Amino acid sequence: MVEPIPAYDPTPPYSSLNETVVLIIENSLWGISAVQKAVNQYEQDLKDTGYTTIKHTNSISTVQNLKNLLQSWYTNNNSVGVVLIGNLPYAQYYHPAVGGFNDETFICDLYLMDMDGNWWDLNTDGVYDKHNASIGANIYPEIYVGRIDATNRALGGQTNSQNIITLLNRFHSYRIGGVS
């Protein structure tokens, strides 16, 4: 017989992590009361786990503005990660063809995770072409980034906001032992 996996237990030693998780919610989604309710429950679940939270609901127009906010929270608020909820700006990176692989341009959230690296858009086309680090820095992520966005999801016939609400409600259900 297989024993069920116990639900997540947010009791100590997790009760005081001294770390901050940033929640950034697409401004147009924040105007939907059911989204607010689901996000507020998710935020409370994080707090119950021992995290401090920052919730940002103002519009963010560019990925550079988003990165500036993340760097500020990383420096001033001990943020360890961010959860992006909705259709928020993203960076693109160009990787040239090397070693038999084709060149490729792709979405690159490492741009948002790397707090001390240098990113260059050499031909000013809006796509980063080079990533390196200054002396004393590195090219690795300092924070994590997660995205909750169903903008391009057509399966199930739900809207983006309905899909986000469903997912956040499942997170909560898991935390209280309703889903394993």
Q: pLDDT by residue (tens digit) across 141-158?
A: 999 999 999 888 766 788
Average pLDDT, integer, range 99-119: 95
Across the chain, mean pLDDT equals 90
Taking 60 as the threshold, does the pLDDT of residue 55 lie above it?
yes
Residue 45 makes CB contacts below 8 A (sequence gap 6+) with 10, 171, 172, 175
CA angle 122, 84, 78 (to 5 degrees): 85
- CA 172, distance to chain mean position in Å, is 17
Q: What is the pLDDT of residue 156?
A: 75
CA distance 68 to 66: 5
CA distance 49 to 38: 17
State the fold for domain 20-172: Rossmann fold (3.40.50)
pTM of the complete model: 0.86
How many other C-beta atoms can be found within 10 angstroms of the C-beta atom of residue 40? 13
Average pLDDT, integer, range 9-17: 55
Tell which phi-psi region holds residue 63, choosing left (phi > 0), alpha (psi between -120 and 50) or beta.
Answer: alpha
Three-state secondary structure call for residue 152: coil
Taking 90 as the threshold, does the pLDDT of residue 16 lie above it?
no
Binned at pLDDT 50, 70 and 90, residue 1 comes out as low
**Would strands 79-85 and 20-25 be described as parallel, antiparallel, or unpaired?**
parallel
> What amino acid occupies position 100?
G
Residue 49: closest CA among 73, 72, 3, 81: 81
CA Rg, the chain, in Å?
19
How many other C-beta atoms can be found within 10 angstroms of the C-beta atom of residue 61? 8
The fraction of the chain above a pLDDT of 70, given in percent, is 89
Query: Is residue 180 within 8 Å of residue 7, measured between CB atoms?
Result: yes
Binned at pLDDT 50, 70 and 90, residue 51 comes out as very high
Three-state secondary structure call for residue 118: strand
Say if residue 74 is exposed, middle or buried (CB neighbours under 10 Å; 0-12, 13-18, 19+): buried
Query: Is residue 129 within 8 Å of residue 137, measured between CB atoms?
Result: no
Q: What is the pLDDT of residue 108?
A: 97
Q: What is the pLDDT of residue 157?
A: 82
